[in-house]
Amino acid sequence: MRYSDELIEEIRSKNDIVDVIGGYVHLQKKGSTYFGLCPFHNEKTASFSVTPSKQMYYCFGCHKGGNVITFLMEYENYSFQEAMAALAEKAGVELPEPDQAQADRSRDILRKRMLEVNKEAAKYYAYLLRSPKGEPGINYLKGRGLTDDTLNRFGLGFADVSSDSLVRYLVSKGYDDQLLIDAGLAVFDEKSGLHDRFWNRVMYPIMDANNRVIGFGGRVMGDAKPKYLNSRETFVFDKSRNLYGLNLARSSRTDYFILCEGYMDVIAMHQAGFNMAVASLGTAFTSGQATLLRRFVRKVYLAYDSDQAGIDAALKAIAVFRDMDMNCRIINMEPHKDPDEFIKTLGKEEFQKRIDDAEDGFFFELRIMARDYDLKAPDSRSEFTYRVVDKLLGFEDEIKRENYLIAAADRYAIPVDQLKREIIKRAAQGRKVTYDSPRSGIQKAVTNEELILKKQRNLITWLSEDPSIFSVVKKYIEPSDFTDPLYAEVVRQLFADLERNGEPRPAAIISTFDDEADQSRVAELFNTSLVLDADNDKAHALHDVIYMVKKSAVEARSASDVVDAESITRQMNDKKALEELRKTTITL
């Protein structure tokens, strides 16, 4: 289902990129460009730019870039189709019925089918839960104190004891065997044929941030193993980039999330009114999940189990958050095991108090660490002090490190000077190591070819920012002078736009490329930094860039030409033109 270029362009141009991205990323205006923390990589200083005049975003850190359509695809994990639909709705434009015959984005279609079949499976499990077959499931869930409203809100269901009831249901709905296997709902083996992956389990549909069912978690009835079984990762289900409950927590309107260990914790918390609770999906908390959380909040409270496994998991999560420069506090669940049990026994008011009194992640780490030392014995105490220094070195931000240092010194009665001295000593050792590595190596890595490409990018950015130079540029340069095929194609389109009405449309050019990596590369072409001297030097600088681009084009051509009479004439003409260009004085 390909839309016409005109329609894509209409939808794109009716959605201002600053408005759209501003809804996701906190942007600050600097000159004519907006900057914010990049949602696609972990950073502490804003290198993610949004330029209204180009209707483009570009990150100078991770080099992701594109237009308003590619942003939604990347950020919301939308297909092209879904991004177009969302933007069309915002702009009040009606999209025509997609023409199936023209379907050429097979990835999109497979995704769509997989989401559909997951949704259908969730509906079927929910139906079974409320049927006589679902009695064990209902008994279990009601036994855990869940209300009907909660069952509905989380779409809970049941997989019965028969080994193929879901398969039979979905096949009757017209889904083919392979799709069921690909979606992780069914398994095939020689002995029993195609059968359900989940049976005799309470089913928790896992939704992405946009309420689409992407997988399932299942808790077995009785004592069979494994107690919890999750969908395996599929085309639509990436465990490291999703969190259970995020679809609901994202609209909680709090400036923090509560991170729990399991599905039941999240559900119990939501039922008690803590609708900012989320959980990782049966795996350790990852930096990908932290990046996802950071899109919504900067503060996270951990509500992990109070047993040793929970403490170990919390320590790992604290480290992940520190690397992401996010604050994290630990909720003390004692004397109970988990939030579910805590709230059932002590109530939600008491839980709220525990949130308010939650312990800073750093002090939690020190407290757990201190358990292994006898702080009254000098030798043991010294070792502990060294480990505190280790931990303090984990803070990259100097002010933060200083503040934690003072607080830690106070808490464990360690002299502040002692900690400071040791940190300076260690930092100095660290720096020495860096000096030892050969620095010249980095510069050598920038090849001549890369320098030429950089000049070419400069010229493209310049043309898009100052179309008045086009009349001069086109006298000397043609699209084929750009040695990279992608550059040449972009310039061909850019020239056509400038020729037509003098107006560059970089964001429209991006949409003509299908591949995500290409789109980022195109965005890069329009976002090089132009180092220009005073205005009167502009003509000189432009001459430089044009000459460099032309010279490299001529050299590339002469290197690749076969040697015959025609090519020799051509090379001679090229060289003559180049020499003339060198002597020419450009006036603007």
Q: At its nearest, how many Å lie between Zn ion and the CB of residue 400? A: 22
Cβ-based nearer residue to Zn ion, 38 or 452: 38
Sign of the alpha-carbon torsion through 415, 420, 421, 427: positive
Q: Binders of Zn ion among 239-258, rule CB under 5 A?
A: none
Q: Are 185 and 121 in contact (CB under 8 A)?
A: yes
Q: Binders of Zn ion among 346-385, rule CB under 5 A?
A: none
Cβ-based nearer residue to Zn ion, 63 or 298: 63
- SS3 labels along 551-587: HHHHHHHHHHCCCCHHHHHHHHHHHHHHHHHHHCCCC
Q: Which stretch binds Zn ion (CB under 5 A): 19-27, 33-41, 125-133, 386-394?
A: 33-41
d(CA 185, CA 166): 8
From start to end of 304-445, where are the E strands? 327-330, 359-360
Pairing between β-strand 299-303 and β-strand 256-260 as defined by DSSP bridges: parallel
**Residue from 2, 14, 41, 420 that binds Zn ion (CB under 5 A)?**
41
Q: At its nearest, how many Å lie between Zn ion and the CB of residue 60? A: 8
Q: At its nearest, how many Å lie between Zn ion and the CB of residue 38? A: 3
Cβ-based nearer residue to Zn ion, 22 or 61: 61
Cβ-based nearer residue to Zn ion, 61 or 479: 61
Q: At its nearest, how many Å lie between Zn ion and the CB of residue 124? A: 41
Owner of token pair 């002590």: 346
Q: Binders of Zn ion among 537-556, rule CB under 5 A?
A: none
Cβ-based nearer residue to Zn ion, 62 or 370: 62
Sign of the alpha-carbon torsion through 119, 124, 129, 130: positive
Q: At its nearest, how many Å lie between Zn ion and the CB of residue 396? A: 18
Q: What are phi and psi of 97, to 5 degrees?
A: -55, 130
d(CA 32, CA 15): 18
Q: At its nearest, how many Å lie between Zn ion and the CB of residue 62? A: 3
Q: Is 324 in the site for Zn ion (CB under 5 A)?
A: no
Cβ-based nearer residue to Zn ion, 40 or 296: 40
Cβ-based nearer residue to Zn ion, 177 or 325: 325
Q: Binders of Zn ion among 105-134, rule CB under 5 A?
A: none
Please give the size of the binding site for Zn ion, defined by CB under 5 A: 6
**Residue from 21, 37, 38, 170 that binds Zn ion (CB under 5 A)?**
38
Q: Binders of Zn ion among 42-101, rule CB under 5 A?
A: 59, 61-62
Cβ-based nearer residue to Zn ion, 62 or 532: 62
User: Using omega within 30 degrees of 0 as the cis cutoff, is the peptide bond preceding 132 cis?
Assistant: no
Q: Are 315 and 278 in contact (CB under 8 A)?
A: no
**Residue from 3, 35, 40, 342 that binds Zn ion (CB under 5 A)?**
40
Q: Could you tell me the strand order of the sheet in which 56-59 lies?
A: 28-30, 33-36, 48-51, 56-59, 65-66
Tokens representing 466 are 């100052």
d(CA 556, CA 2): 37
Q: Which stretch binds Zn ion (CB under 5 A): 22-30, 35-43, 319-327, 492-500?
A: 35-43
Q: Which residues of this chain interact with Zn ion, rule CB under 5 A? A: 38, 40-41, 59, 61-62
